[in-house]
Amino acid sequence: MAKVTDFKALKRKQMRRRSLKVLGLIALILAGTYFLSSMMSTPSFAGLSSVLDMIKGGPGYPIDAPGGKVKGMYQNESSLVMLNETTIYFYNTSGSEVYSALHRMGNPQIKTNGTMLLNYDRGSKTYAAYSRNNLFYSGKTDSAIRCGDISENGCIAIATQTENAQTQVQVQDAKQRELYTWKTDNAVTALAMSGNGSNIAIASSYVEQGELKNALTVLKNGKEQNRYELANQLILAVEFDGANVRCITDRSAFIMSPDGKIIGQFDYKGQSLAAFSMYENGVALVFGNYEQDRKYTLASVASDFFTLNGTKTLTDSIQKIKAYGNTIMVLGASSFCEYSAYDCEMIKEESNESYYDIQPMGNSIYAMTTTEIVRLPLTTPSKFSLFTNHAPKQLPDGTEEEEQSQEDLDLLAGILNGMKNSANDEEPEMTIGESEPETVYEEGFIEREEPVQSELEGEQQVEEPEPPAIDSDWDDPDDSSESVNQWMDQVPVQDEDVEPEFSVQEPADPQEKNSSSRRPAVSSNKDSDKDSDEDSNKDSDEDSGQAESSKTPQSESTKEKQQDSKSNKKDNKDEKKDEPLFSSRRPA
């Protein structure tokens, strides 16, 4: 009897054998690749070992912050890097901590390029290179490190300064082998490497004949390709944009072609640069001094480094500014705002009281607080704003003085008037041969160097007539002049050099005016009574008749003179209290 064959079971066995063979072949290929990569020790090998760590799940954001003093947040491919004063941390998009290590650096600085990250200690001698979230290699230099950079394939360039102020740039490949060293007597301020590590842009500064000069040198495989000189400008940052080189200085931003020609330049027009952020589609610049003006000016410049897309006034102090895609993020002291890179219009704003660092990555913004790391959505501006903005933009000229407001002008006028009044109140110092200037007292009391005509006439009447001598007790009794009462208010003083002061202010009370005219008559009656005791009764009757005649009304000119002298007597009342009082009336 023939045996029946089960074809279905046979097919299942054949498929199982084929699957095992395929899996064995794949395992063999992976094992060979792992072995070869480990032998070559390339950055791609370190990156391959961390793929599983980056795709694994996590608790999600927000997550607890690691603590310590945060130095900054950075993006390394799909890893979020957080650096504090002691440790470097790597997080994936799910909130899992995939790597952390102590860096032991006093002043750590981070440079990223694709999946590569370089951490170097500025002012010291140590550095470390990372591929994704794994340490690739670390090293130590002979001199203090000034700056450095890393390429996408793992090449690094580090500028060090020797004791004799000579700077050299060491370039190493992915295997940490030295390719070449470039030396200069200038101080290197910034450098950047191209994607493949073949080109290096080096910014250096020096002083020549009292003038600060900067040089931008581009090296290709260790040989100088071109050099561009700048006067009185300090280069702050450089980076490669394909074969071109972008450069940010304290006075302008420009882009240079491989042959050393400037193909785009944006001048600041005298504005003071406060912060900047270069990104793929251009550069975001912040101008101004918040301590003086209490504001900033945000400017968005296109990728050609010539076209100004728009400007915006910022009224909050700036902690961080970062540009990503077509969004400009500004972290202030009390707010967090997102602006469109097309026209600098605000697209989102939220109050900020705890954020002190931000980092965009993917479609999210990661923000650091004192206790946690949170994830915020990234707002993308509308592309139609690029076409609706047709008006050309211009940066305001910072060299011209801004028009002052009316409040500022009033305040300035008040300060000047106060200075003028204080200068008038101060008594000027007298020098030999110099006369005393006009002194201004309270209103109504002015002492003039050149008196008016009416005062001159009054002084002449006081000084020029022949008054009775002070040494003689009485004047001639036979003189019966009618002007005896014109000098009743003149009171001789002991100091003849002091001139009496006069006032043109008339008394408001008419009774006071009449009383001043009668005062000499009362004084003359007392004198006549005293003299009547010495003379005969006949003479005393004649004196009493003369006293009665002295009480008659006087002329208007005489009253005005008496009023002028009356004010003078009130001012000098205390000085004349102990002086003898003399009467100009001629006794009988």
Q: What pLDDT does 529 receive?
A: 47
CATH of the domain spanning 272-396, picked from 3.30.565.10, 3.30.413.10, 3.30.360.10, 2.130.10.10: 2.130.10.10
C-alpha distance from residue 416 to each of 423, 426, 500, 524 (Å): 10, 16, 36, 57
Q: Cα(327)–Cα(346) distance, rounded to whole angstroms?
A: 10
540 band by pLDDT with thresholds 50, 70 and 90: very low
Model pLDDT, residue 128? 94
Q: How many secondary structure helices (H) and strands (E) does the chain include?
A: 10, 34
Calculate the CA dihedral of residues 185, 188, 193, 197 and round it to 10 degrees: 30
Residue 514: partners with Cβ closer than 8 Å, 6 or more residues away: none
What are the domain boundaries of the chain? 272-396, 446-571
Q: Can you tell me the mean pLDDT for 30-59?
A: 65
pLDDT of residue 23: 87
330-379 pLDDT, tens digit each: 999 889 999 999 999 999 998 877 888 999 998 999 999 888 999 999 99
pLDDT, position 383: 74
Bridge partner residues of 131 (DSSP): 116, 134
Which pLDDT belongs to residue 348? Answer: 92
Phi, psi of 359, deg, nearest 5: -155, 115
User: Using one digit for the tens of pLDDT, what is the confidence trace for 402-457?
Assistant: 444 555 556 555 655 555 454 455 444 443 334 444 444 444 444 444 444 444 44
Which sign, positive or negative, has the C-alpha torsion 570, 576, 581, 582? negative
CA angle at residue 345 from 307 to 290, to 5 degrees? 85
pLDDT band of residue 82 (cuts 50, 70, 90) is very high
Mean pLDDT of 167-190: 91
Q: In what helix (H) or strand (E) does residue 458 lie, and over which residues does it extend?
A: helix 453-463
CA distance to 73, 117, 210, 366, per residue, from 373 (Å): 11, 21, 49, 7
The pairs formed by 276-281 with CB atoms below 8 angstroms and a separation of 24 or more are: 276/236, 276/237, 276/248, 276/321, 277/321, 277/322, 277/323, 277/328, 278/237, 278/239, 278/246, 278/248, 278/323, 279/323, 279/324, 279/325, 280/325, 281/323, 281/325, 281/326, 281/341
pLDDT tens string 206-263: 888 888 899 999 999 999 999 999 988 899 999 999 899 999 999 999 999 999 899 9
Token output for 530: 């005293």
Q: What is the DSSP letter of 211?
A: E
Q: How far apart are CA 193 and CA 172, in angstroms?
A: 12
Instruction: Return the bridge partners of 213, or none.
Output: 206, 231
| Residue 144 confidence (pLDDT) | 92
pLDDT of 28 reads 84
For the segment 551-565, the average pLDDT, to the nearest whole number, is 50
pLDDT score at 365: 95
Where b means 16+ CB within 10 Å and e means fewer, 221-245 reads eeeeebebebeebebebbbbeeebb
Does residue 474 register a pLDDT over 60?
Answer: no
Q: What is the largest CA-CA distance in the chain?
A: 201
Q: Has residue 511 got a pLDDT over 60? A: no
Per-residue pLDDT tens over the stretch 132-177: 888 888 999 999 999 999 999 889 999 998 777 678 999 999 888 9
